[in-house]
Structure 1
Amino acid sequence: MPARPVRRAFLKAGLALAALLSAPVLSQPARAAEKLVFMLDWQAEAEHGGYFQAVAEGLYQKAGLDVTIVPGGPGMSAQQLLAAGKIDGTIGSNAFYVLNLVEAGAKVKAVASMFQKDPTILMAHARNTTSLADLKGRPIFLGDPSINTVWRWLKSKYPFEDSQIRRYTGNLAPFLTTPTAAAQGYATSEPLTAKKAGADVKVFLLADQGYDGYSGLVMFNDAYIQAHPAAVKAFIAATAEGWRHYLHGDAAPADALIRKSNPDMDTETLAYGRKALVDDGIVEGTPAAPDAIGRMTAARWDSFTNEMKRLGIYKAATDWKAGVDLAN
């Protein structure tokens, strides 16, 4: 993801915040609410809309949860904090995060996937690109984490070479000024940035090209899962409901919270991101299935892990089951 300024504010999913933003206030449940600290994988944006919708509508409170949402940002490893027990839960941006933590022996698990498709894209200048195969021999700007993961998958499918790699640091200017180049990004953001700069781009969603990894994974520390199993299930259900409302209802309450957490986020970018999440089937899959939100299957984890083992990314003994809990 492109670099963005760090914002250190915390958002408390409580009555005071809901009242401040004129969101509906729901009665607290009679029993004591379960406390839960959940960290985002980046600064607040449309990709987190379901979480903020659940806050704004009081869905977590209604489920008996006292949720604190903590924004992420550059230089902050939510997965490391989770493994160290400093937070209860976080987002695994893609399936590689889960398998990397398995190989590291971390006591954490993915319990749901809020994105049925990974939003990772390659985009190129439209005037000379009709397919991914056209990118053979051209410069391709990639973020460092993708070079030993997504890039190896791409090389197994297309005639690409490592000599094409250029480092993508979040600044699209080198791509925009290189007519033959392509760049990695997210369907929810980089195409809009390119459009604002006057570029006409061709966008390839890798999930529609055969890349089948989960994304937007809800991850919890093993200790929290064991101590609070009902809270984990309630969090997943409330977040899934938040996503349904964000995508198909009034997104204004969530967008207000997102902009409060991340003042650099503008309404145009939020609207573009939300539309991309719907149009590309990122959250609900293609064809759209609202009840698919959060779903994971053993068959899909088997398929993804085995393919990445064949590419040499993971050891033959790596077992995805050590990092995934399908019981929720």
Structure 2
Amino acid sequence: MTARTVRRALLKTGLALAALLGATSLAAPAWAAEKLVFMLDWQAEAEHGGYFQAVAEGLYQKAGLDVTIVPGGPGMSAQQMLAAGRIDGTIGSNAFYVLNLVEAGAKVKAVAAMFQKDPTILMAHAQNTSGLADLKGRPIFLGDPSINTLWRWLKSKYPFEDSQIRRYAGNIAPFLTTPTAAVQGYVTSEPFTAKKTGADVKVFLLADQGYDGYSGLVMFNQAYIDQHAAAVKAFVAATAEGWRHYLHGDAAAADALIRKANPDMDAETLAYARKALVDNGIVEGTPANPDAVGHMTAARWEGFTNEMKRLGIYQAGTAWKAGVDLGAP
């Protein structure tokens, strides 16, 4: 399948989603709006609330953009599709995605961080865990992408060994039935799932334990940035405004769009996740700073990259600047 064929298929998917949502802001305005195909990193959920709020309020349309939002899902690598030029933009779930693409020589850039704090957690059973160090020697369920990245950081901070690793594929049932275990997850998701079963859990947000990577990164193909620099800035600004409104305003319309795009999502889950985003400073940082939404600093990227080089995750010559554009917000 050629890149053009894939792009046409994605546009069809995005247009079908637009029709499903009934969102007029995804349709082109009367003037010649900039067209932009943006793919989510997963199926629609509260972690994409700012984008759907921007759709619901017509913020993209007001910014002169004709945005087609394409949902992600299992078996889809939005970052690889971005590198291949099959889409214009997508979300980098964490800072490792950016540096991995730099080492792969991909011509893409992160232009904004919609999450000032990474929402990744380790969750353990509360009755036998007071701190992360208590997890020494216990089973820890991890997703495959974390084993050669985040796990190395954890081992540098805590007395963990590779023998503790158990594979996590998104089902917390093995964790629930193993009293000594811990599991990786998002502060917006796994704790809610566990609590619905009656489990008493202890949640450790890694960003509050010293892990300083950005998350929810807005990424664009370099060719699109070169040709549509104003559109990229407008998209970032509209999305940041969407996030502020989603967190602190009326999120009902955005949540309705999310549920239409992802029928498996329910109102209770969305409400929990939205509150978790606010309570943990995921979007606005801690202390909360609404003006920080989307922003990144050279110092923070430099510190994160150097720490991961020290851990042997990246080569000494890996340059974060090759994958980051600080001038977009």
Question: TM-score, normalization: structure 2?
Answer: 0.93
Query: What does 1:98-247 align with in structure 2 at a 5 Å threshold?
Result: 98-247=98-247
Query: What does 1:259-274 align with in structure 2 at a 5 Å threshold?
Result: 259-274=259-274
* 1:76 positional shift: 0.2
* 1:151 positional shift: 0.4
* 1:11 positional shift: 5.4
Three-state SS of the structure 2 residue aligned to 1:38 is strand
Three-state SS of the structure 2 residue aligned to 1:35 is strand
User: Residue 12 of structure 1 contacts residue 67 of structure 1 at CA under 8 Å; is this kept in 2?
Assistant: no
User: Residue 33 of structure 2 contacts residue 66 of structure 2 at CA under 8 Å; is this kept in 1?
Assistant: yes
Give a deviation string over 1:100-149, Cα, whole Å, max 9, x none. Answer: 00000000000000000000000000011010001001000000000001
What is the alpha-carbon distance in structure 2 between the residues aligned to residue 51 and residue 11 of structure 1?
Answer: 16
* 1:27 positional shift: 11
Higher helix share: 2
Name structure 1 gaps, 5 residues minimum: 1-7
What is the alpha-carbon distance in structure 2 between the residues aligned to residue 48 and residue 29 of structure 1?
Answer: 23
Q: Does 1:292 align with 2:292?
A: yes
Q: Does 1:10 align with 2:14?
A: yes
Three-state SS of the structure 2 residue aligned to 1:10 is helix
Question: TM-score, normalization: structure 1?
Answer: 0.93
User: Residue 148 of structure 1 contacts residue 313 of structure 1 at CA under 8 Å; is this kept in 2?
Assistant: yes
Q: Structure 1 residues 186 and 160 mapped into 2: Cα distance closer, same or farther (>3 Å)?
A: same
User: Residue 139 of structure 1 contacts residue 181 of structure 1 at CA under 8 Å; is this kept in 2?
Assistant: yes
Q: Does 1:251 align with 2:255?
A: no
Q: Structure 1 residues 324 and 164 mapped into 2: Cα distance closer, same or farther (>3 Å)?
A: same
Identity %: 85
What is the alpha-carbon distance in structure 2 between the residues aligned to residue 123 and residue 236 of structure 1?
Answer: 32
User: Residue 13 of structure 1 contacts residue 55 of structure 1 at CA under 8 Å; is this kept in 2?
Assistant: no
Give a deviation string over 1:30-76, Cα, whole Å, max 9, x none. Answer: 64100000000000000000000000100000000000000101100
AA partner of residue 271 (structure 1): A
Q: What's 2:52 paired with?
A: 52
What is the alpha-carbon distance in structure 2 between the residues aligned to residue 90 and residue 169 of structure 1?
Answer: 23
Q: What's 2:280 paired with?
A: 280
Three-state SS of the structure 2 residue aligned to 1:259 is helix
Give a deviation string over 1:277-328, Cα, whole Å, max 9, x none. Answer: 0000000000000000000000000000000000000000000000000111
Q: Size of the alignment, in residue pairs?
A: 317
Q: Structure 1 residues 27 and 62 mapped into 2: Cα distance closer, same or farther (>3 Å)?
A: farther
Q: Structure 1 residues 27 and 321 mapped into 2: Cα distance closer, same or farther (>3 Å)?
A: closer
* 1:26 positional shift: 11
Three-state SS of the structure 2 residue aligned to 1:81 is helix
* 1:196 positional shift: 0.8
* 1:83 positional shift: 0.5
* 1:272 positional shift: 0.5
Q: What's 1:3 paired with?
A: none
Three-state SS of the structure 2 residue aligned to 1:202 is strand
User: Residue 26 of structure 2 contacts residue 67 of structure 2 at CA under 8 Å; is this kept in 1?
Assistant: no
What is the alpha-carbon distance in structure 2 between the residues aligned to residue 234 and residue 17 of structure 1?
Answer: 25
What is the alpha-carbon distance in structure 2 between the residues aligned to residue 141 and residue 158 of structure 1?
Answer: 16
Q: What's 1:4 paired with?
A: none
Q: What's 1:43 paired with?
A: 43
Give the superposed CA RMSD: 1.8
Q: What's 1:5 paired with?
A: none
Q: What's 1:68 paired with?
A: 68
User: Residue 112 of structure 1 contacts residue 219 of structure 1 at CA under 8 Å; is this kept in 2?
Assistant: yes
Deviating beyond 3 angstroms after TM superposition, the runs of 4 or more aligned structure 1 residues are 11-14, 25-31
